[in-house]
Structure 1
Amino acid sequence: MLEETLTYALIKVMKAHRNQLAAELGPLGLHAGQELLLNQLWRQDGLCQGELITRLGVEPPTVTKTLQRLERAGLVRRAPDPGRARVTRVYLTDAGKALQKPVEDIWKRLDEELLRGFDADERTLLARLVRAIPH
């Protein structure tokens, strides 16, 4: 039975976790997944769309749509690359920069909730095992 597989259990956990994440991000004006793009800009502002696609490992239309929504929300702005006429860079606005701490706090809190009930050794082991899963 599918319900007895590890894949099924992982999908159930991830779906519940993503729903919880979406509920937490909503009051910040974000949809789940948008914070992943913002995170790349928090790490290195001024990336081009191609760099975001590569870093996020998603299809170009996904990044295009996400950027359009973030731009409409006033969280990012696009500007031409001064050295390369056909390249557009993406920059955080002050509002986009201000979301970094609240989003990071949400992710840390959700990690704590996810790991509640595990001791330190189990947390370390689980993190190691999950990171070892090919993706």
Structure 2
Amino acid sequence: MKYAPLLLLVTVAVLIALPWLVSGSMLNAAVQMLIAALFAMAFGLLCGQAGMLSFGHAAYFGVGAFAAVHAMNAFGGEGLLPTPLLPLVGGATGLVSGLLAGYFSTKRTGVYFAMITLALAELLHALAPHLKTVFG
């Protein structure tokens, strides 16, 4: 464990230098892998550490993605919102929707928690085709 700060520093340095080390398609693949790893870590934390099986954590990921896309296309697609702020918009929207759903779902444990999260995810999935103005 005495080399952990050095390993962290080397990892951050490699990630910062990655755009200059690989091609554009490889950089895109690396970003997709990091997003998938973050998504898997969230599930691992919720299920492994907290012991709560969630069927709906992907819904908040999707809500954040839709919010980022809508923020990117806001103001007639003129791009008035700086691009580096788009992940922050998506993350904040996912956080707010997760807090709202979490308020209801964390009141129960076990199978009831799993079914409530599944119901909330299916609710969003069922609403998407009916809200064409929001989801496109």
Higher strand share: 1
The answer, yes or no, to whether TM exceeds 0.5 is no
Higher helix share: 2
Query: What TM-score do the two structures reach when normalised by structure 1?
Result: 0.31
TM-score by length of 2: 0.30
